[in-house]
Amino acid sequence: MYSPTSHPWTEGETLGHHLEQRGVSRRDFVEYCGGLCAVLGLGNLAVPRMARALQTLKRPSVIWIQLQECTGCVESVIRTSEPTIGNLILDLVSLDYSHTLMAAAGHQAEDALQSAMKQNAGKYLLVVTGSVPLADGGVYLTIGGRTAETILKEAAAGAAAVVAVGACAHWGSVQAARPNPTGAVGVSAIIKDKPVINIAGCPPIADVITATVVHFLTFGRMPATDGDGRPLFAYGARIHDQCSRRANFDAGQFVTSFDDDAARQGWCLYHVGCKGPATFSPCPIFQWNDATSWPIGAGHPCLGCTERHFWDTMTPFYGRLPDIGGFGVERSADIIGAALAVGATAGVAAHAVATGIHEARRRRSLPIVEAPGGGSSAAPPSSPPSVKE
């Protein structure tokens, strides 16, 4: 029976003391830190430092606001897999505002938010799921009568750091897909005065979220990120380069239709649209739901859900190339391309024939000239293409 609130801390208690109370040995704890360092790609040297930092830590406030979203990201966090790792991490914090889980409603809920922001000003961690609809004055999402933009700006102002969890908070996700009717944008489009870390995915794997939070608590700063604000420990490598079906890719062994023989052998899903070659995500390594499986592991191509605008650039999901302009590129472009190449060849051939006819006519109209140094030959000195080619 492990769960976020089942081993609560008392005020002022450190994690070290807390774990001792719970009968967690020093050795187990260091081992646990080693596991975390491995997840974070930090290497063994960082273990003592993490252990020291975590042991002296007090339970920090986390405020989780939910904006324009589907709640899938919240559900993902609720599924944090590894009992020890997942629950220890959730044990680390005081979740002071969470739409989905909190007991209070209405203005009591909003009061809880206000007082958490006030009491922990400058120190709390702000977690955001969901996007911010900017069109038409923000009327596409209000909470307590206020727009998402207002709420986000207010909550971010006093935050020590901002974690944007999921594709919605990252860049808008499905509601930002063409034609983005509500003008949905991600957190980093609004919050410019402090770093926003993007936990990419629709939804992301829970362990990535929790590990990022631990990193922040341990080192007092966010993990290193790529150009898109995604932590490198999770999003530093492509799915394609870590995939269990890569050997089949290299061998030239592809599923061409679902449930064909190749699918039943577990071959590569490239042909049926896998977006692994363009997607940076730890899915093949961390896997999903207590390392049970992952999309490609269960036979479905990757949709590219950790990449910006994947609803537009990675679709059609079962095609290899994006459908730019929506006219069916996969089907048409290669046909058009091949047709033009054939057409060019045919055009060239026609031109050659036309040139031949023209030349023949012209030559017939030319006077016969004496070929120097040789018997008279009927002009023109023929060098018909047929001979040369």
Partner 1 sequence: MATTKIVVDPITRIEGHLRIEAQAENGRISNAWAVSTQFRGIEIIMQGRDPRDAWAFTQRICGVCTVVHAVASCRAVEDALGIEIPPNANLIRNLVHGMQFIQDHVIHFYHLHALDWVDVVSALKADPAGTARIARSISPWPNNSETYFTEVQDRVKKFVAGGQLGIFTNGYWGHPAYKLPPEVNLLAVAHYLEALDWQRDVIRLHTIFGGKNPHPNFLVGGMACAINLDRAATINAERLEDIHGMIQRAQRFVEEVYWPDLIAIAGYYKEWGAIGGGVPNYMAVGEFPDADVRDTSKLYFPRGIIMGKDLTTVVPYDHLKVKEYITSSWYEYPGGDGVGLHPWEGETKAKYTGPKPPYQYLQGLDKYTWMKAPRYDGHPMQVGPLARMLVAYASNHPDVKPMVTDLLGRLKVGPEVLFSTLGRTAARGMETVLLARRMNVWFDQLVGRIKGGDTATFNRTKWEPSSWPAKAEGYGYLDAPRGALGHWVQIANGKISRYQCVVPSTWNCSPRDGEGQMGPYEASLVDNHPLALPEQPLEILRTIHSFDPCMACGVH
Partner 2 sequence: MSTIMAAPPKPLPRTGNYRWVSLWGVPIRVMHWAAALSIVVLAVTGLYIGKPYFMTSGEASSHFLMGWMRFLHFTAAGVVVMTAVVRVYWLFAGNRYERWRALVPVSRKNLRNLLRQARAYVLVRPEEAPPYLGHNPLQQMSYTMLYAIAAAQVVTGFALYGQYNSAGIFYRAFNWIGPLLGGIPNVRFIHHEITWVFAIYLPIHVYLSIRADVLEHNSTISSIVSGGRMVPADAKFQDD
Binding site for partner 2 (CB under 8 A): 226-227, 232, 236-238, 240-241, 247-254, 256, 262, 267, 270-271, 275, 277-278, 280, 304, 307-310, 313-314, 320-322, 324, 329, 333-334, 336-338, 340-341, 343-345, 347-348, 351-352, 354-355, 358-359, 362, 369, 371-373, 380-381, 383, 385, 388-389
Least CB distance to partner 2 at residue 356 (A)? 9
Least CB distance to partner 2 at residue 105 (A)? 41
Type of residue found at 156: A
Task: Mention every residue, 6+ apart, whose C-beta is less than 8 A from residue 304.
Answer: 275, 278, 279, 310, 313, 314
Least CB distance to ligand F3S at residue 244 (A)? 12
DSSP 8-state code for residue 290: T
Q: Which residue, among 347, 348, 352, has the nearest Cα to 384 in the 3D structure?
A: 352
Q: Which residue, among 194, 141, 144, 143, has the nearest Cα to 168 in the 3D structure?
A: 141
Q: What's the sign of the alpha-carbon dihedral 358, 360, 366, 372?
A: positive
Under rule CB under 8 A, residue 16 binds partner 1 = no
Question: Which residue, 236 or 277, has its beta carbon nearer to ligand HEM?
Answer: 277
Type of residue found at 336: I
Q: Which of 296, 308, 315, 323 binds ligand F3S (CB under 6 A)?
A: 296
Least CB distance to ligand HEM at residue 52 (A)? 45
| Segment lying near partner 1 (by CB under 8 A), choices 36-44, 154-162, 297-305, 333-341 | 297-305
306 binds, among ligand F3S, ligand HEM, partner 2, none (CB under 5 to 8 A by kind): ligand F3S
270 binds, among partner 1, ligand SF4, ligand F3S, none (CB under 5 to 8 A by kind): ligand SF4
| Segment lying near partner 1 (by CB under 8 A), choices 37-45, 208-216, 309-317, 372-380 | 309-317
What's the Rg (C-alpha) of the chain?
Answer: 31
Under rule CB under 8 A, residue 14 binds partner 1 = no
For 225-243, the DSSP string reads B-TTS-BHHHHSSBGGGT-
Burial class from Cβ neighbours inside 10 Å (0-12, 13-18, 19+) for residue 278 reads middle
Least CB distance to partner 1 at residue 55 (A)? 18
Q: What's the sign of the alpha-carbon dihedral 96, 99, 100, 102?
A: positive
State which residue has the least CB distance to ligand SF4. Answer: 276
| Residue appearing with tokens 């069109």 | 135
Residues 150-169 that bind ligand SF4 (CB under 6 A): 166-168
CB neighbours of residue 194 within 10 Å: 12
Q: Which of 18, 59, 215, 245 binds ligand SF4 (CB under 6 A)?
A: 245
Q: Site mask, ligand SF4, residues 287-306, x = CB under 6 A?
A: ---------x-----x----
Beta bridge partners of 162: 126, 196
Beta bridge partners of 161: 125
Cα–Cα distance, 377 to 368 (Å, whole number): 9
| Segment lying near partner 1 (by CB under 8 A), choices 191-199, 208-216, 326-334, 366-374 | 326-334
Under rule CB under 8 A, residue 245 binds partner 1 = yes
Burial class from Cβ neighbours inside 10 Å (0-12, 13-18, 19+) for residue 318 reads middle
Q: What is the dihedral of CA 131, 81, 88, 48, to 10 degrees?
A: -100
Element (H, E) at 61: strand 61-66
335 binds, among ligand HEM, partner 2, partner 1, none (CB under 5 to 8 A by kind): none
CB neighbours of residue 77 within 10 Å: 25
Interface contacts to ligand SF4, rule CB under 6 A = 69-70, 72-73, 129-130, 166-168, 173-174, 202-203, 239-240, 243, 245-246, 249, 268-270, 274, 276-277, 296, 302
Interface contacts to ligand F3S, rule CB under 6 A = 201, 239, 279, 281, 283, 294-296, 302-306
